[in-house]
Chains A and B, each alone.
Chain A
Amino acid sequence: MLELKQLYQGFRDPTTILSLARDIARLADKLPAPLNVMEVCGGHTHTIMKYGLLELLPSNIEFIHGPGCPVCIMPKERIDQAAALASIDNVILVTLGDMIRVPGSHGSLASFRAKGCDIRPIYDPLDTLKIAKDNPKKTIVFFAIGFETSTPMTAVLLQQAERQGIKNLLFHINHVLVPPAIDAVMQDSQTRVNAFIGPAHVSVISGAKIYRSTVEKYATPVVVSGFEPVDVMESILRLVRQRIEGKAELEIQYTRAVSEAGNLAAQALVNQYFQTRMQFRWRGLGEISNSALALKDEFAHRDAERIFADRLPVKQIDDHKACQCGDILRGLAKPKDCKVFGRGCAPETPLGSCMVSSEGACNAYYRYQGIQKETVARS
């Protein structure tokens, strides 16, 4: 019998974490070159920092924090669009939690809310249905964010709005995809990344299969990992083994939740409502082709981006000059390399996107900073 508590405690067990650390340390001497692991997903960044895992690893293993936080990679012009939508008379803008803290070029959504715009942070996208029903004379815009993990939930919301004939609900879609972001990192000639920890919940939905091409194209190992500290440590161990044996394979550590194929029902829903965008600009990474989703043409009547096209600013806004979020998201700099880190830029007054969300690299370093030695193995 497996108790639910074991699913928490078993994967945070101190003796297991320390034993895995010993095993990694023992094997790390045999690594042919430093292991520069990119954890693509912000959830892993959070785990690594919160649980102090850097301290447990030898100096020839380094984490490079990747672009996998949907809040962090959102360019300012998209926030400006959300603010513009919220400023239209009789519009209620609905979005998920952290998003309202992200600064656009004229302030965050929280500051627009303080000015009187009706902006509602929610936890559950389906709550938007109730807001739409309760406010029949208003237009509700769901500002949809997230990677593969959260796209199916937006699809269900759209499906329900169609089925229930809720006409006053529109969507502003900002869903992005992990594999093109990995490509963008690997195609950068300066990249030092030579191994990946694959996202946990993106993979629950999409299946581990989406990393096949990464492994093949770049001969780089990928281990899909769970979010608990034991999961991350075991994944590091597996990456070390692969590098020692000269392999570059796709492995799933998080087998209790991730399969090769993923959640097919969720994938079918996404395919029913969404199409790939030709281009999407990522904060820090720039334009990446086929890296984001938009509503299909047949749902144009739900698409706030089309319906309010004349009201939405399209001017591209670059980051603050001193902000190094771009380099951090590409793994070329650490948060502490940035001149404004902890000075002009802090969680309550973020200049850059990586400081906003608790899954952003800068925010995680700021919150949990200081004691951990940084395992910098820069050549």
Chain B
Amino acid sequence: MCLSIPSEVIAVDAERQSVTVDTLGVRRDVSSHLISDPLAIGDYVLIHIGFVMNKIDRDDALNSLELYREIVEKMGGNPLN
């Protein structure tokens, strides 16, 4: 069950346990029943079959991207050049 992609929270409806998310310009309401900590506008979340599964750790994602920059450099720079 592997289709789950990052989206941005753009509205929160705490009462209905629902949030509106934006995925590259496509917006839909999804359930936040599985999330115990309150979500906020601007959070990045993973969506799976209409539910938020979790919040994405931004610092962690940035760290990974930084690590990749280092690997590219270590391996001799842009291999496409």
In the complex they form, whether A and B have CB atoms below 8 Å apart is answered with yes
Stretch at the interface among A104-112, A199-207, A216-224, A327-335: A199-207
Complex formed: what's the CA distance from A126 to B32 in Å? Answer: 12
Known: A7-B6, A13-B68, A153-B49. A257 touches B54 (CB 8 A): yes
Chain A contacts to B: CB under 8 angstroms: 2, 4-8, 10-11, 13-16, 18-20, 22-23, 41-44, 46, 70, 96, 123-127, 146-147, 149-150, 152-153, 156, 159, 199-202, 204-205, 227, 230, 234, 255-257, 263-266, 269, 359
Question: Nearest Cβ distance between residue B39 and chain A, in whole angstroms?
Answer: 12
A-B contact pairs, 17 of them (CB 8 A): A8-B6, A11-B64, A19-B74, A43-B1, A46-B2, A123-B50, A124-B31, A146-B1, A149-B48, A149-B53, A156-B34, A201-B4, A204-B54, A230-B68, A256-B56, A256-B61, A263-B54
Q: Are B79 and A18 in contact (CB under 8 A)?
A: yes
Question: Nearest Cβ distance between residue A11 and chain B, in whole angstroms?
Answer: 8
Q: For the complex of A and B, list the 8 residue pairs with the smallest distance between their C-beta atoms, beginning with the closest.
A: A43-B2, A124-B50, A149-B1, A19-B75, A18-B79, A265-B36, A256-B61, A256-B60
Residues of B within 8 A of A125 (CB): 49-50
Q: Are B2 and A19 in contact (CB under 8 A)?
A: no
Residues of A within 8 A of B64 (CB): 10-11, 234, 255-256
When C-beta atoms are compared, the residue in chain B nearest to A22 turns out to be B75
Question: Nearest Cβ distance between residue A260 and chain B, in whole angstroms?
Answer: 13
Question: Nearest Cβ distance between residue B75 and chain A, in whole angstroms?
Answer: 4
Complex formed: what's the CA distance from A204 to B58 in Å? Answer: 15
Besides A4-B22, A23-B71, A255-B60, 6 more A-B contacts (Cβ < 8 Å) are: A8-B6, A18-B79, A19-B74, A124-B50, A153-B49, A263-B35
Complex formed: what's the CA distance from A6 to B69 in Å? Answer: 13
Question: Nearest Cβ distance between residue A77 and chain B, in whole angstroms?
Answer: 21
Complex formed: what's the CA distance from A201 to B62 in Å? Answer: 20
Q: Does B12 contact A (CB under 8 A)?
A: no
Q: Are A269 and B31 in contact (CB under 8 A)?
A: no
Question: Nearest Cβ distance between residue B46 and chain A, in whole angstroms?
Answer: 6
When C-beta atoms are compared, the residue in chain A nearest to B46 turns out to be A257
Q: Are B46 and A10 in contact (CB under 8 A)?
A: no
Q: Are B51 and A152 in contact (CB under 8 A)?
A: yes
Q: Are A126 and B6 in contact (CB under 8 A)?
A: no
Interface residues on B, range: 35 or more
Residues of B within 8 A of A146 (CB): 1
When C-beta atoms are compared, the residue in chain B nearest to A175 turns out to be B1
Q: Are B49 and A150 in contact (CB under 8 A)?
A: yes
Q: Are B49 and A18 in contact (CB under 8 A)?
A: no
When C-beta atoms are compared, the residue in chain B nearest to A26 turns out to be B75
Complex formed: what's the CA distance from A378 to B46 in Å? Answer: 38
Q: Does B27 contact A (CB under 8 A)?
A: no
Q: Are B56 and A257 in contact (CB under 8 A)?
A: yes
Complex formed: what's the CA distance from A200 to B1 in Å? Answer: 10
Residues of B within 8 A of A199 (CB): 2
Residues of B within 8 A of A204 (CB): 4, 46, 53-54
CB proximity to A under 8 Å, residues B37-73: 44, 46, 48-51, 53-54, 56-58, 60-62, 64-65, 68, 71-72
With beta carbons under 8 angstroms apart, the residue of B24, B51, B58, B80 that contacts A153 is B51
Complex formed: what's the CA distance from A11 to B44 in Å? Answer: 15
With beta carbons under 8 angstroms apart, the residue of B24, B50, B74 that contacts A126 is B50
Residues of A within 8 A of B34 (CB): 152-153, 156, 263, 265-266, 269
With beta carbons under 8 angstroms apart, the residue of A96, A126, A264 that contacts B31 is A126
Residues of B within 8 A of A14 (CB): 80
